[in-house]
Amino acid sequence: MPNLVRWLLILGITFLALQHFLMRQPLNVPISVIEQSIASGSVERLRFHPESLYVEAFIKPSDKNSKGGTLVQARAVSPQHLDEIRRRAEAKGIMYGTANPPNPFWASMFSMVLYISIFCGIWYFIAMRQGGKSGGRGMFNFGDSPAKRFQPGLRPKKTFADVAGCDEAKEELKEIVDFLQNPGDFMRLGSRIPKGVLLVGDPGTGKTLLAQAVAGEASVSFLSANGSEFVEMFVGVGASRIRSLFEEAKKIAPCIVFIDEIDAIGKKRGVAVGGGHDEREHALNQLLGELDGFVGNNKIVVIAATNRVDVLDEALIRPGRFDRQVYVPVPDVAGRKAILEVHVKNVKLAPAVDLEIVAKDTAGMVGADLQNVVNEATLFATRKKKSAVEQSDFSEAVDKVTMGAERKSMRLSEKEKKLTAYHEAGHALVALLTKDANPLHKITIIPRGQALGYTKQLPPDNHCTTKEELFARVKVAVGGRAAEELVFNTVTTGAYSDFLNATFVLRRMVYEFGMSENAGLVVHKEKTDFFGHPSGVDASQKTKELLEKEVNDKLNEIYKQVKKLLEEHRVKLDLLAALLLEKETVTADEVRKTLSLPAIQ
């Protein structure tokens, strides 16, 4: 409140000063100038002040084409002189008026106070509105804590039962819960609980949910803030907010302080780029100081989350600060099934729904994606007026989340439709005939998103990928273009993303995975600049030319192999394209049956 009063006083004084200086002040001239102007008819209007004997005159410009004029004033010799000037003005037909007598002092003061009060009231209203939009901090309370506070019992709490797919991470965090519930057991043997826990994982893996679950299990208060809220254009604001955050945490201890996206303030310190960089460093230094200031029994645990642990300052993650890193992985099949089971608790499912099939169909998805899949499946079932969500709804939901909604209004010409069918048939046939390729799941030529068709494979949850599997990915990627050229003797732009993916895989094989035939085992990783943007490969120009030539040669070699493979199985390619043109969407089992291939065991 003192900050607000100070600012309102400053603004009020500024307003009065501007009002005073911007008012048009008359120019003082001899009384003879006004008399001569009246006689010549160049006065437009007059205003008389009987108490002070002053007369104001607005004199027309000498040039008739110009706009404006001059406001002047002069003092008459006596009241009789003032009356004489009035009579001359009447004779010339000049408009004139008489000024009101000046208000008493108290009336002038009342008027001024009224103006200031109205101005301050409007400003205060705007300040309060702005404060509501910025989390209740107020327009001038820059240094207040931005954290949202959640007290136990005031809302449905999250527990570890609401978190699935990351059992190891939950086990590590259960130790934090035990400390908050029974700190004496740890101190009895001289143990020191970590002051800070850093949750590391891809976006959507459940880092925020884990932090909320720790607070829910321990039944303690939860303060949540985003790292970007500590960085402002004013130097010192971020540091002040961090101080306020930890002061609030000490008042309500035991509690958990959660800072999401901590890389916004915790990046490595280096060369300053603008004032915002200096402000971020001030905020980081304050955070380091607050972590150092913890005592062993204050019952405050700081949990932070990031998906860029590589950019964090070493001082932040050293022992004694964020000294424990808990990795939250992308879930495997079992993890995805467990996550789906959590999200379908309140969903009415048909008896035939098998969540394991959905889990296998969603390889690479994280918790947030799976939650979206469940929601989309319920929406599909609702639109079709079903009494429960069926397996087909989940299948459609996965396709929508993966590739986008069906573009039913898009009409393809027969030529485009046939070309798309052969393109997707090329991908699918290469996937079926290549030993190390990922299993085929579904093919469609119904446009989705920006794609005219889509061939879906189900990658296994492997943690390592062999050289042969990487080459198989490239072969499947170029299969569409090879089929186009083989059948239509031309190529289209439809294979752009395919070659983009193929080039990406081959580049990583040659540059980073030590699979180069020319460069050997040396890793040439791509460098990044201060902002995290790619800035070139860490290699000499000659080496880069050598590596790029190898990537190009290998891509051309694989393309020729794939084209030859499709030539040898041209009959199967035609059968598969015809099946797609007939049904538009086919499963892997339908494809194998049509091509007389053995089913996958």
> Residues marked as binding for Zn(2+)?
423, 427, 498
Can you say whether residue 71 is alpha, beta or left, with left for phi > 0 and alpha for psi between -120 and 50 degrees? beta
Q: Give 452's contacts (C-beta < 8 A, 6+ positions apart).
A: 412, 416, 420, 423, 445, 494
Is 424 a known active-site residue? Answer: yes
50: which 2 tokens? 């009987």
Q: Residue for token digits 């400003």?
A: 123
Q: Output the CA–CA distances (angstroms, integers) from residue 443 to 63, 423, 424, 535, 586, in the order listed.
A: 85, 11, 7, 38, 5
On whether the CB atoms of residues 412 and 440 are closer than 8 A, the answer is no
Binding residues for ATP: 201-208
Query: Cis (ω within 30 of 0) for the bond into 460?
Result: no
Closest by Cα among 48, 54, 53, 51 to 102: 51
Closest by Cα among 417, 412, 418, 414 to 574: 418
Give the distance from CA 216 to its chain's centroid.
27
Q: Which residues share a beta bridge with 327?
A: 200
Q: Which of 376, 424, 484, 550 is catalytic?
A: 424
On whether the CB atoms of residues 509 and 587 are closer than 8 A, the answer is no
H/E segment holding residue 71: strand 70-75
What is the arrangement of strands in the sheet containing 43-49, beginning at the earlier edge strand?
27-28, 70-75, 54-59, 43-49, 95-98
564: which 2 tokens? 């030859």
Which are the catalytic amino acids? 424
